[in-house]
Amino acid sequence: MTPKTVGDAVLQRDGTSYGLMVGGAGGVVTPDELERIARTAREHGVPLIKLTRGQRIALLGIPGEKAVAVARALGVDEGRPGGPCMKYVAACPGTAVCRWGMQDALALARELEERFGTRTFPSKLKIGVSGCARNCSSSFFSDLGFIGTGRGWMVFFGGNGARRPRNADLVASNLTDDQALDLADRLVNYYASHGRSGERTARFVERLGLETIRSELLRFVPYIPLE
């Protein structure tokens, strides 16, 4: 916990109130969770609730003296990293309900949330999982992106949609769920070990070059064909 954070809550521009993000991987929440969020917001006088692009629910304007109580009431003050971390895993419905879904985006999103949700990184990490090539989760603009096809997962790395946009690089195609998760582990661990403080994956890939990442990491991955 730092002066700018309380649990998972972040100090806002007024210097006195906090914002808190809640919600599950891929934006999935249960009726009970929604009721708890609404009840907590009412009890603690939270003035604004907003859905975010990252498929989270933001409670904004939380009075500073109530930030800890709100975080505890929502169960988001435990197990979270104290530094730069994974911000979200955004995912489309995939094969769960979508007629166009080719892969199970929600299941992959849950696995990614479990693997990376409590880790710290050189900078924030955003993940997008799209169940088909329609790319509803903007996977090209994510630090780590996944797009499902009829032959498996395509995995992308180094995307950014902020002030200096960058399309992520395609790292591998036609991967099974287990292979996609294994590759995610390898890419994230490499970034965690070699990234500079405050350096997003887009700038990381630009600094090292994709060929360096291929020679130092990807050529040792058994399911990625050698070029």
Query: pTM of the prediction?
Result: 0.90
Query: Cβ distance 156 to 205 under 8 Å?
Result: no
Strands (E), the chain: 5-6, 9-11, 17-22, 48-51, 57-63, 86-91, 125-130, 144-149, 152-157, 169-175
- Mean pLDDT per 10-residue segment, the chain (227 residues): 56 92 90 95 95 92 92 74 82 97 98 94 97 96 98 98 94 98 98 97 98 96 88
Q: Is the dihedral of CA 12, 21, 161, 224 positive or negative?
A: positive
- Decide if 146 contacts 139 (C-beta within 8 A): yes
Q: How many CB atoms lie within 10 A of CB 85?
A: 17
Beta bridge partners of 172: 155
Give, in order, the Cα–Cα distances in Å from 42 to each of 16, 39, 67, 181. 19, 5, 14, 39
pLDDT of residue 23: 86
Which pLDDT value is given to residue 176?
98
pLDDT given for residue 24 in this prediction: 85
Contact 137, 52 (CB under 8 A): no
Residue-range domains of the chain with CATH: 5-74 (3.90.480.10), 86-220 (3.30.413.10)
**3-class SS at 190?**
helix
